[in-house]
Amino acid sequence: MQKLPTSSWIGNIMDTTHDDPTARPTMNEVVVRFEKIRKRLSWWKLRSRVSDKTVPLILHRLYSPIHWIQQLSYIIRRIPAIPDYTRNKEYSDV
């Protein structure tokens, strides 16, 4: 069974690809919406590996430990799963 994106993701996609450019949200609004979605996700979900279902199981079993070793190194070094650009005023005026 394929996982479908949540309604908030679909809403953001529909809004940002609206036919009328004046009806589209600004980039700051998109960043705020994305931040709200990101805050609802657990740290485990944010660091989880996205796996291609067509990859053979043996390769999945091989790559998963490699992925988690890399994620552990990021956790130890306190590197966030998704960078928070809103903290840096150089990148955002939100």
Residue 91 has pLDDT above 60, yes or no: no
Res 6: pLDDT: 67
On whether the CB atoms of residues 71 and 9 are closer than 8 A, the answer is no
The answer to whether position 29 is within a domain reads no
Strand, helix or coil for residue 46: helix
**Exposed / middle / buried, residue 54 (Cβ in 10 Å: 0-12, 13-18, 19+):** exposed
Domain that holds residue 71: 56-81
The answer to whether position 21 is within a domain reads no
Number of domains in the chain: 1
Give me the percent of the chain exceeding a pLDDT of 70.
82
The answer to whether position 77 is within a domain reads yes
Q: Residue range 36-62: average pLDDT? A: 83
The answer to whether position 69 is within a domain reads yes
C-alpha separations of 71 from 16, 46, 56 in Å:
31, 10, 22
1 vs 68, which has greater pLDDT?
68
The answer to whether position 71 is within a domain reads yes
Task: State the pTM of this model.
Answer: 0.56
**Exposed / middle / buried, residue 3 (Cβ in 10 Å: 0-12, 13-18, 19+):** exposed
Average pLDDT across the chain, whole number: 80
The answer to whether position 65 is within a domain reads yes
The answer to whether position 87 is within a domain reads no
On whether the CB atoms of residues 30 and 16 are closer than 8 A, the answer is yes
51 vs 21, which has greater pLDDT?
21
The answer to whether position 64 is within a domain reads yes
